[in-house]
Amino acid sequence: MDRVRLARAYVSELLDRIVRFDMHLSIVEDEFYTKLGFSGDTAAERPLFLTSFKKCVDDLLTIVVMLSEECRAIADDNAATLVMLKAKHGFLVLADLHETGLVHLPRPSEPTELKRFLRMIARHVLTRSKPDLAVYMTETTSESAFPDDPIRTLQESGGVADLIRLMNLPATGTSGSPFGEQNARGIHVTIPRIDARNPLRWPSLIHEAAHKLISADVIGASDIEQKFVSSLPDEVVAAIREVNIDLRSWLTEIWCDLFASLVVGPAFFFSQYSAFISSPSDGILNSGYPPHSLRLFLIANCQRHLYSIARTSSVRDRMASCMDLVDYWDRSFKLHIESNASMKLLADSMRLFFMEHFFGGTASEADNFRRKYDKMVRYVREICPDQLRNIQLSISEGLPVPSKPSRSGVWLAEEPTSIQEVLLAAWLDRLERLLPEGLNIASGQTTEPLNREELLKPFVKFDGAVLRSLQIAEWLHVLIDTTPSTKAATFARDCERACDEQADGEHLINDVGIARLLKSGKLRIVPLVDLEQQLGAASFDIRLGTSFEVYLPAYVRQGSSADASPDAYTARSVDLDFLQHIVLLPGEMVLAHSFEYVRLPAEVAAELDGRSSYARLGLEIHLTAGMIDPGFEGTITFEMVNNGPNPISLFPGLRIGQLRFLSVQRPMRPYSARGSAKYGRQLHHRRSLYTSDVDYQKLRSAMDQQECFAQDAAPRTSASSGLDRRGR
């Protein structure tokens, strides 16, 4: 076992957790303190506790920088073990901070993407009658599930129930509660606060949801322990009993692991791995929870059976590396499945039992889980290795990946990527690129003051690409036809033929030229929803995105007009949930962005304009800023104004504007190569950053100097004159 490699991997995981903590504190500060219209220094106005918290996290970042440097100097196994023990202590400190410190800070709103993830699991993976998965952020450091609605106890046996009886309110539903039975049918799970915006930990929520699914109608009349024991010879059962555990609890945890593993795919293995190493074992066998190494062993075995992608070298090798790190700690505490003969026998018996339970077909109809599973779960498709690599490459570049080439074979047609594909590609990119890159950045900062922005930047970029992929994917299930129409297929064939026959033009690029750029990959438009509808004679329609900046009625902080800045105006960021919309009133302006992420080649510029259908309503989608430089990439920002007399409803996903592409000579500095470029690679709109312009900063500096001169020249009252402020 290469302990140097393990030490680096463990420290990089600690870095990831500290970064998550830092990002969460920034969200709290932004949501509750920065956007309240404060004047002056925001840092000085934030609560002292938040300032102290951020200082503590900065200290932890400094410590992980020191540990990363120690990793580079490891000479033997003893040095590697010492580094890992220090890192383990760091995980324990973080857990204590999370559970005892975060209760003193307000909870930010739950991200819309997390709600979408659970809703897509309920709608497109689990065949539930309605999306009834509910998630709550908590200060605990592990995911959990409520056996019932957390408020239900109060409704039925607490103070609320007493008050209902006192008021003689009628009882409805079988529960006897006037609130009815609806709440009892939901699945209620919790997630640690710092992971609410960490999509790679979300698969573990399905394990918690499975606790609500494991019931008699799912696994059969006899409970899971009875099934397991009855499948074994008596001497094997006697040997297993020597382990001194709550066998039913162990079997239940593993059943939930394997069910979630089937639903989410290989990403669930990595999600549980992350959860396990973030909560180090205390070295004592837990009678209610199986050792981490046993759980990962059974999950990996299940994955390799169902998903062929788990048997490819790229996924298999990453699983093995993760297993090595978990095995290291379990072996250290003699909790590994090979620690003693009874534990090994138990592990092998569970593997055989669950393989038969989940994949066998010999049980009776009532006990045959496989047939029930086929009715419960859908949209779990085989993951293509080539497509997985392309998705992983896009995420590494910061691109969203809500769609992929259609299996129909229609030219340039796309279909939504599955949750399983996006999360697995993201996990592979995290392990292969993001964590090593973060550790290298950290180890390079030991001789300089800690540059937090540089350290956080790759993690923020990574999260943005993954969250955006999950955000758009739900809309694509509505916008993209599962099977392209005959008309769309015919158009695609004609377009492909024209690309081969027609030569490149100049200046304004026509439909054939646009299609050729898309085919070659020089022009990227993600997602490419409907080529037949979006491709015009010399333009390409783009859709409205999901986020908006809504400016409230005019409000400027006190001071001169020269003091005005974007932050001086009250605005509210709105991220619409699935099928929601906003209404733009006459004369009102909002910032918005395109549904598509656009990457222009260095030889192509673009112009943004509105579509005539919406122009006839009085809608303007840009204000003098319609030119897009060659080499630009990101979503396109809309400055939307309603110039008409009536309110206009705006729905994300509508084709709201169009791009015209212009062929230009290759510039010396494309947009992406300009150091002063402020709006590149954005995944949603940004407020105006005009105050970062060099000329503005020069003017402000000159004005500040002039104000200082004026103050120095003003007459001052002598301190020895004996006059007070009232001149007496």
| Three state DSSP letters for 188-222 | EEEEEHHHCCCHHHCHHHHHHHHHHHCCHHHHCCC
Q: Is residue 681 part of a domain?
A: yes
Which residue in the block uniquely carries the two structure tokens 């990119």? 429
What pLDDT score was predicted for residue 283? 75
The residue that leads in pLDDT, 150 or 146, is 146
pLDDT digits 0-9 by tens, 215-255: 645 555 467 888 899 888 888 888 888 888 899 899 999 99
Which helix (H) or strand (E) segment is 391 a member of? helix 385-396
Instruction: Verify that 325 and 453 share a domain, yes or no.
Output: no
The residue that leads in pLDDT, 713 or 100, is 100
pLDDT digits 0-9 by tens, 73-93: 888 888 989 999 999 999 999
Span 707-714, average pLDDT: 68
| Contact between 426 and 395 (Cβ < 8 Å) | yes
Poorest-pLDDT segment among 135-139, 349-353, 446-450, 531-535 = 446-450
Dihedral in degrees, nearest 10, Cα atoms 476, 479, 485, 490: -80
What pLDDT score was predicted for residue 29? 86
Span 629-641, average pLDDT: 92
* Model confidence at 174: pLDDT above 60: no
CA distance 162 to 527: 54
Residue 129: pLDDT band with limits 50, 70, 90: low
Span 497-522, average pLDDT: 82
Residue 720: pLDDT band with limits 50, 70, 90: very low
What pLDDT score was predicted for residue 553? 64
* Model confidence at 121: pLDDT above 70: yes
Residue 370: pLDDT band with limits 50, 70, 90: low
3-state secondary structure of 39: coil
What pLDDT score was predicted for residue 392? 94
Residue 131: pLDDT band with limits 50, 70, 90: low
Q: Is residue 644 part of a domain?
A: yes
Q: Is residue 145 part of a domain?
A: no
What pLDDT score was predicted for residue 694? 76
Span 379-404, average pLDDT: 86
Instruction: Verify that 278 and 402 share a domain, yes or no.
Output: no
Residue 723: pLDDT band with limits 50, 70, 90: very low
- 190: its two tokens: 């919790």
Instruction: Verify that 497 and 479 share a domain, yes or no.
Output: no
| C-alpha distance from residue 230 to each of 12, 48, 222, 372 (Å) | 45, 60, 10, 21
What pLDDT score was predicted for residue 484? 78
The residue that leads in pLDDT, 213 or 702, is 702
What pLDDT score was predicted for residue 156? 65
* Model confidence at 190: pLDDT above 90: no
pLDDT digits 0-9 by tens, 521-563: 999 999 988 888 999 999 999 999 989 988 876 544 444 444 4
What pLDDT score was predicted for residue 611? 92
- Looking at 113, 414, 639, 707, which residue is catalytic? 639
CA distance 665 to 667: 6
pLDDT digits 0-9 by tens, 554-610: 544 444 444 444 444 567 788 887 788 999 999 999 999 999 999 999 999 999 999
The alpha helices in 502-549, defined as continuous H runs, are 511-520, 531-534
Instruction: Verify that 531 and 421 share a domain, yes or no.
Output: no
Q: Which of 358, 376, 394 is the last residue of a domain?
A: 376
Span 112-131, average pLDDT: 70
Span 130-141, average pLDDT: 78
* Model confidence at 507: pLDDT above 50: yes
CA distance 117 to 577: 12
| Contact between 202 and 137 (Cβ < 8 Å) | no
Bridge-based pairing of strands 547-551 and 589-599 is antiparallel
Strand partners for 138: 192
* Model confidence at 62: pLDDT above 70: yes
Instruction: Verify that 523 and 651 share a domain, yes or no.
Output: yes
Instruction: Verify that 351 and 448 share a domain, yes or no.
Output: no
* Model confidence at 693: pLDDT above 80: no
How many domains does one find in the chain? Answer: 4
| Contact between 637 and 686 (Cβ < 8 Å) | yes
Instruction: Verify that 266 and 398 share a domain, yes or no.
Output: no
CA distance 609 to 539: 10
Residue 394: pLDDT band with limits 50, 70, 90: very high
Instruction: Verify that 363 and 406 share a domain, yes or no.
Output: no
| Contact between 337 and 344 (Cβ < 8 Å) | yes
Q: Is residue 186 part of a domain?
A: no
Residue 426: pLDDT band with limits 50, 70, 90: very high
CA distance 20 to 416: 28
CA distance 355 to 361: 11
Q: Which range marks the domain in which residue 28 is found?
A: 1-109
What pLDDT score was predicted for residue 430? 96
* Model confidence at 38: pLDDT above 50: no
Question: How does the average pLDDT of the chain come out, rounded?
Answer: 81
Q: Is residue 509 part of a domain?
A: yes
pTM of the model: 0.84
What pLDDT score was predicted for residue 262? 86
* Model confidence at 425: pLDDT above 70: yes
What pLDDT score was predicted for residue 372? 64
Instruction: Verify that 221 and 306 share a domain, yes or no.
Output: yes
Poorest-pLDDT segment among 59-68, 548-557, 638-647 = 548-557
Instruction: Verify that 238 and 263 share a domain, yes or no.
Output: yes
| 639 a catalytic residue | yes
Q: Is residue 413 part of a domain?
A: yes
**Cα–Cα–Cα angle for 603, 606, 608, rounded to 5 degrees:** 175
Q: Is residue 166 part of a domain?
A: no
* Model confidence at 10: pLDDT above 90: yes
* Model confidence at 691: pLDDT above 60: yes
Which residue in the block uniquely carries the two structure tokens 């089937």? 262
What pLDDT score was predicted for residue 498? 82
- Among residues of the chain, what percentage have pLDDT more than 70? 81
Single out the residue of 472, 480, 626, 604 nearest to residue 544, CA to CA.
472
Instruction: Verify that 415 and 445 share a domain, yes or no.
Output: yes
Q: Is residue 154 part of a domain?
A: no
Span 298-315, average pLDDT: 91
Q: Could you give phi then psi for residue 542, rounded to 5 degrees?
A: -125, 155
Q: Which of 452, 483, 514 is the last residue of a domain?
A: 483
What pLDDT score was predicted for residue 724? 44
| Region of residue 590 (phi > 0: left; psi between -120 and 50: alpha; otherwise: beta) | beta
Span 355-360, average pLDDT: 82
Instruction: Verify that 428 and 547 share a domain, yes or no.
Output: no
Poorest-pLDDT segment among 131-140, 162-171, 450-459 = 162-171
Q: Which of 87, 109, 131 is the last residue of a domain?
A: 109
In CATH, what number is assigned to the domain containing residue 607? 2.70.40.10
The residue that leads in pLDDT, 246 or 625, is 246
Poorest-pLDDT segment among 119-123, 222-226, 304-308 = 119-123
